[in-house]
Amino acid sequence: MLQAYWNLTGRPFDKSIKPQQLFMSNGFKELLSRLQYMKQHRGIMLISGQPGTGKTTALRAFVNELSELSFQSFYVPLATVNVLDFYRQLNQQLGGEPFHFKAKLFVSIQQNIKDLVGNNKKIPVIIFDEAHLLKNENFTELQIISNFNMDSTDPALIILAGQPHLGDRLMRPILKSFYQRISLKYHLLPLEKDEVQPFIEHHLKIKGCHQSPFSDNAIEAIFKNTAGVPRLVAALALNTMTLGMIQKSQTLTEEHVFQATHEL
């Protein structure tokens, strides 16, 4: 039975899943709603959440739906850099010339943003992933970079995504000024208890599996062992399915899940 599930159309919970096929948990839908708000108003947005809750996945879905006529996205994944490299990386992403001095890089970054908005009629969406790894001085520099017309306009949408302690860190006195300039903050929570089963069934259905092999007790055990973190739920569900196939089980039970937890 499980072998048939496994061989239908590929591996369930594939991270390359199309954005339109993503499971819409309550938290995920709320985050996308907040992103839509920021798309209209621009400024700086902070997204926090435990590893594996789907921050980057949500951003991928958001960017996928942006109109290419009105928006241009820039994804900056490298966070562990010094100030000069931070400027160079951002300038390169925006298509600026490779200057060596910070002052010229600053002018280039701001000018490229102005050109996108003024000449190309496009709003830049600049995403800093793993932002909890950014050095304090880079937050200060980002505050300066995002200051346009004496801090009276927000031509770009800047999104910072990172782990939960990022918010606490930004509230410290040394970064208080930057924290006050964040327009919207959202903390993405794991799946709720009653969302785990629909989450698993959703991903199985994408692969053509319309009947879940997991018992109610198995779903309960998956939630208890993952706290609802989607990445962990997916990994444990896959491990449990693999174990069930090896044991030629027809139904996956709480015992299968407990055995599979040792593989996480």
pLDDT tens, residue by residue, 195-210: 999 999 999 988 888 8
Residue pLDDT, tens place only, 134-164: 999 999 999 999 999 877 789 999 999 999 9
Q: What is the mean pLDDT of residues 83-106?
A: 94
pTM for the model stands at: 0.91
Residue type, 50: Q
Please state, for a pLDDT cut of 70, what percent of the chain lies above it: 95
State mean pLDDT over 33-57.
Answer: 95
Q: Which residues pair with 124 in a beta bridge?
A: 72
The answer to whether residues 52 and 13 touch, using CB atoms and an 8 Å cutoff, is no
